[in-house]
Amino acid sequence: MNKEKMIDKKKLSGAEILIKALKGKDIKVIFGYPGGAVIDIFNLLYDTDIDFYLTRHEQGAVHAADGYARASGKPGVCIATSGPGATNLVTGIATAYMDSIPIVAITGQVPTSLIGNDAFQEVDTTGITRAITKHNYLVKDIDEFAQIIEEAFYIATTGRPGPVLIDIPKDIQQGKTSKIESGPINIPGYKPTLVGNMKQIKKAAEFIEKAKKPVIYAGGGIITSGASELLIKFAEKINTPVTTTLLGLGGFPGTHELFLGMLGMHGTQYANYAIMESDLIIAIGARFDDRVTGKISEFAPHAKIIHIDIDPASVGKNVRVDIPIVGDAKLVLKDLLKVVKPKKNEDWLKVVNAWKEKYPLRYEKKPNVVSPQYVVECIRDITKGNAIIATEVGQNQMWVAQYYKFDKPRTLLTSGGLGTMGYGFPAAIGAKIARPELPVFDIAGDGSIQMNIQELATAVTKNIGVKIVILNNGYLGMVRQWQELFYNKRYAATCLKTGALNPNKCKKVEMPLEYSPDFVKLAEAYGATGIRIYKNEEVKGAIKKALEIEGPVIIDCIIDSEENVFPMVPAGASLRQMIGGMA
């Protein structure tokens, strides 16, 4: 070997640096879709033992990476080509951004010499994703590449997690460098605060001691930081009822006697009443989203607020906060537990428990249709809660939130912040790959499931046994519900049945061919199993049967077209104004 070749041996191409770094980070699973601008990377992936999942749409890949991350707590990785591949990732990146999910998205880019030329399949990917990533990079110098990958994973997974995108021009993938290792990470502008200020924590403990009607309001931060067990200890020590956001579900056991269920627009009446009556709200890893607070000026009028969050920009953003504490939920709870005194709150719990009894979540089991709430309850019963549930967006999502008592963190995957239809199914695929030992369901609407139904091919070819339960009402149900309640039943563009242009026809339910598509046949077309049920008596059998089948299954549940999600706080109203509650 001559000298030149020996030096060359120590050099790696950009694509090789990427693969080496991914292996070094113990990345075992990647979701994606190939194309000319990433062909060098795929060419190398081909020889690795990294499990690559070819989805049928880049949106499927990014949601699957997101579901993988939510179910496992590890970063999800997805890859797409330049231009249309990159733009197809956008919705999924935004979904992960809103819910603080760690994803590293890798995109190919045209060669650096062509950037800005409107080259074939060129878009300004870093520009397009700037507002929906925690950070993003365009690799311009191959010598910086190893360091960029290291930083990308670090930023995605630390502090308030979030998606990070790396855009890699083709010449960087092909070029060679001897700088193949990353150095220590030093980002002067990025130093997340993890430990809470002890003075503030002590002050919080004093407030808690004095409070007569405290409520804990927990969000997704509890799950992200792995603080669930500490939260249970904390709540039990101070005997304080706990309500969670949609993303906080599972962060506190759904069956715990201190649990109030979810609060907000479709929260329980007792959670909302408790918030409105409380004199102290202990918010942990939650951001006072408008779906939670209702009319903000009337939110919790008597309460002092303690706000614990890792993101200083979230603290005090939507509500005035009396004690802000910036830090990781787990570390802050640990410190708080040391200083807070045990407490009984007997009178307050009596009041809250009376509400619980008086205003329970209730639904009617109608004949000749399937009750969506009952489906959710049966899945929970049959799996004993030992399952992962993904949802789509709409009524299906809210019925899951209301009726599935999530006991463990990372068992609910749902698009909370962005509300992305089409999220659930690919996310369920990602979750099943992360936790193959658990049954994984996607509880879907007939509208949402069609947004990424092509991933049935991914599930079938890779034998990923996800169970899709379609709560089929023939409508874009949640929008139809708003039309019914606030738009005088003008069902504009929400009917999905055949003859949809004639709204009267949509009202009449004739089974099953009124429904489009025929989901059973569709499942079969993809090589999956389809089951259709029309009655509550069939629910348990169908779920059990689906669980016995190894591969993907669709259970098409024909539900009442005009079933609504109640209770409901109209958008912009105070949490006290709940309609459809069974008072």
Partner 1 sequence: MKRIISVLVENKFGVLARVSEIFSSRGFNIESLSVGETLDSKLSRITIVVEGDNVVFEEIKKQLNKLINVIKVRDFTGVDHVEREMVLIKVNLSRKTRAELMEIVNIFRAKIVDVGKDAMTVEITGRDNKIQAFIELVKPFGIVEIVRTGKIAISRNKKKEENNG
Ligand X SMILES: Cc1ncc(C[n+]2csc(CCOP(=O)(O)OP(=O)(O)O)c2C)c(N)n1
Residues with catalytic roles: 58, 120-121, 170, 478
Interface size with ligand X, residues (CB under 6 A): 19
402, with CB counted inside 10 A (0-12, 13-18, 19+), is: buried
Which listed option, partner 1, ligand X, none, makes contact with residue 571 (CB within 5 to 8 Å by class)?
none
Which listed option, partner 1, ligand X, none, makes contact with residue 188 (CB within 5 to 8 Å by class)?
partner 1
Closer by beta carbon to ligand X, 234 or else 566: 566
Residues 547, 463: Cα–Cα separation, whole Å: 14
Alpha helices (H) along 1-122: 3-9, 14-24, 39-45, 58-72, 84-98
Which listed option, partner 1, ligand X, none, makes contact with residue 276 (CB within 5 to 8 Å by class)?
none
> Restricting to residues 435-474, which ones interact with ligand X according to CB under 6 A?
445-448, 471, 473
- Smallest distance from partner 1 to CB 200, Å: 17
530, with CB counted inside 10 A (0-12, 13-18, 19+), is: buried
Closer by beta carbon to partner 1, 159 or else 409: 159
Single out the segment in contact with ligand X by CB under 6 A; choices: 12-20, 387-395, 548-556, 569-577. Answer: 387-395
Can residue 483 be called a binding residue for ligand X (CB under 6 A)? no
**Contact predicate 310/251, CB 8 Å:** no
Residues of this chain that interact with partner 1 (CB under 8 A) are 126-127, 130-131, 134-136, 138, 140, 155, 187-190, 311-313, 317
Q: Report, in this order, helix, strand and coil percent for the chain, each rounded to 5.
A: 40, 15, 45
Which listed option, ligand X, partner 1, none, makes contact with residue 155 (CB within 5 to 8 Å by class)?
partner 1
Can residue 66 be called a binding residue for ligand X (CB under 6 A)? no
Nearest to 101 by CA among 394, 327, 318, 412: 412
Can residue 393 be called a binding residue for ligand X (CB under 6 A)? yes
Single out the segment in contact with ligand X by CB under 6 A; choices: 109-117, 172-180, 388-396, 404-412. Answer: 388-396
Please count the other Cβ atoms lying within 10 Å of the Cβ belonging to residue 172. 26
Crossing angle between the packed helical segments 58-72 and 84-98, to the nearest 10 degrees: 30
Which listed option, ligand X, partner 1, none, makes contact with residue 446 (CB within 5 to 8 Å by class)?
ligand X
- Of positions 466, 476, 495, 543, contacts ligand X by CB under 6 A: 476
Continuous segment of H or E residues that includes residue 151 = helix 145-157
Closer by beta carbon to ligand X, 407 or else 446: 446
List Cα–Cα distances, 472 to 76, 80, 220, 518, in angstroms: 31, 33, 29, 11
Task: Give the β-pairing of 467-472 and 553-558.
Answer: parallel
- Smallest distance from partner 1 to CB 160, Å: 9
190, with CB counted inside 10 A (0-12, 13-18, 19+), is: middle
- Of positions 73, 419, 503, 512, contacts ligand X by CB under 6 A: 419
Can the peptide bond before residue 163 be classed as cis, meaning omega within 30 degrees of 0?
no
Q: Could you list the residues that contact ligand X (CB under 6 A)?
A: 392-396, 419-421, 445-448, 471, 473, 475-479
